[in-house]
Amino acid sequence: MNRKIFVFLIVILLTGCGIVKKKSTYGKERTVTVAASEKDSLTTEEKIPDSKVTVVVLEKADLIINTAMAYSGVRYKYGGTTKKGMDCSGLLYISFGENDIPLPRVSSQMADEGKKIKLNKVTKGDLLFFKTTKRGKKINHVGLVVAVDGRDIKFIHATSSRGVIVSSLQEGYWNYAFVKATRVL
């Protein structure tokens, strides 16, 4: 029984931001889209209600998500911030930076930014933080929430095995490694 648990934990550790190399899709052109609902869009003909800040935040979140999604399929590269290679914090550093919101470059420092929020209050544009190593005591992985459908939270991030992808927080590995969520917008 103990051996099965040990083997299971080793497999989990190796499949996150770790060593295991999976089949790559780097050479293929990938297209991922996130559809915005009509209520999230803002046109010049609409009157802005008293909740002006909420409308602007949703628009800014969509811009940041679209920037991040443009890197979908890019291979993983530690310290990378370009289409040639990207790591998890580099993806968010670039996505927020290109939309005039400065963030620290490292995920553990990003975790100190913004306001901590409960998981059931997460919306598009929020950040999810993870600890993917058993011995590590600090946050070493970050993702950007791209969609929330009930309890299913989808986030974009860069993994060492598959590059920039969209995952679900309901996946066992990410659910287990989850530490906290923050809102910077």
Q: 120-139, pLDDT tens digit by residue?
A: 999 999 999 999 988 878 99
> Which of 58, 88, 127, 181 is labelled catalytic?
88
> Which of 75, 131, 157, 183 is labelled catalytic?
157
Spell out the domains of the chain, with CATH numbers in brackets: 2-183 (3.90.1720.10)
> Which of 75, 124, 131, 141 is labelled catalytic?
141
- What is the rounded CA–CA span in Å between residue 59 and residue 43? 11
**Whole-structure pTM value:** 0.70
pLDDT for residue 11? 47
- What is the rounded CA–CA span in Å between residue 134 and residue 104? 24
Return the exposure string of 18-37: e unless at least 16 CB atoms fall within 10 Å of the residue's CB, then b.
Answer: beeeeeeeeeeeeeeeeeee
Told to judge if 17 belongs to the known catalytic residues of this protein, a careful annotator would answer no
Band of residue 54 on the pLDDT scale cut at 50, 70, 90: low
Q: Give pLDDT tens digits for 67-103.
A: 999 999 999 999 999 999 999 999 999 999 999 999 9
First to last CA, the chain: 46
| CB contact set of 146 (below 8 Å; sequence gap of 6+) | 34, 65, 68, 69, 124, 154, 155, 156, 166
What are 26's two structure tokens?
């780097």
- What is the rounded CA–CA span in Å between residue 16 and residue 86? 15
| pLDDT tops 80 at residue 29 | no
Are 144 and 155 in contact by the 8 Å Cβ rule? The answer is yes
3 state SS of 39:
helix
